[in-house]
Amino acid sequence: MKLCVALDMETKKQNLDLAMKLKGLDIWLKVGLRSYLRDGACFVKSLKNMGFKVFLDLKIYDIPNTMADACEVCADLGVDMINLHASSGKKAMVAVMERLSRLNSKPLVLSVSALTSFSDDEFSEIYGMSINSAVRNMAIFTQNAGLDGMVCSVFESAMIKDVAGENFITLTPGIRPFGKSSDDQVRVANLEMAKSQKSDFIVVGRPIYEAKDPLKATFEILKGIE
């Protein structure tokens, strides 16, 4: 299991300071919408130059051709992992994978199943079915489209692997390693749970960057996932 630290702080300087502190550790960094919209390709490249594996978390969702165009640009940045919404459909995912297959090196591509901030009720209101049934279907067509795995809550990780196989990657946000506030997340879990549910990557943001000592918090998490 790998730790992916979310660089979701308010300013570029704060994000870079945290990256500097964590430099040299066997972790990934996640660049999200705010940071990417503000700090752009340059910021991503500086993280790559620091030696980090980078997950560009833009959760792309559009018509197939537009998604393929966008994913190609993401891949050209040299990031190691990107994502798109499973609810954009199988055609869009196939278009993306077909486009990326023309490149010399392609990032890992994950689909986003159900956001970890959704409760089952809120999810059903939008998708008309339970999270479990929807995620099961999404896992099947994500795998059929040739993607590498899915972003999901810890609670769906083992089920996704049952459906799509052990090598199909699961990346799980909503991790609260120190059992503190869940913030705006609903389906949260701790490290033990993430391990037992076979999560390949855990994403941790606030429990690290809001900690008094983010480096110490990161070490504690790394020790916990050993």
Using rule CB under 6 A, residue 122 touches ligand C5P:
no
Query: Taking phi first (over 0 means left), then psi (-120 to 50 degrees means alpha), and beta for anything else, what does residue 173 get?
Result: beta
Interface with ligand C5P in residues 172-191 (CB under 6 A): 173-174, 183, 185
Query: Per residue in 146-181, is it b (16+ CB within 10 Å) or e — as a string?
Result: ebbbbbbbbbbbebbbebbeeebbbbbbbbbbbeee
**Annotation marks residue 213 as catalytic:** no
- H/E element, 4: strand 2-6
- Does 131 appear as a known binding residue? no
**Annotation marks residue 59 as catalytic:** yes
Instruction: State the binding string over 57-96 for ligand C5P (x if CB under 6 A, else -).
Output: x---------------------------------------
- Does 61 appear as a known binding residue? yes
Q: Phi and psi at residue 29, in whole multiples of 5°?
A: -115, 145
- Does 176 appear as a known binding residue? yes
Using rule CB under 6 A, residue 3 touches ligand C5P:
no
Residue 21, Cβ neighbours under 10 Å: how many?
A: 13
- Does 205 appear as a known binding residue? yes
Using rule CB under 6 A, residue 151 touches ligand C5P:
yes
Q: Which residues are annotated as a binding site for substrate?
A: 8, 30, 57-66, 116, 176, 185, 205-206
Active site residues: 57, 59, 62
Query: Which residues would be at the binding site for ligand C5P (CB under 6 A)?
Result: 6, 8, 32, 57, 112, 115-116, 151, 173-174, 183, 185, 203-206
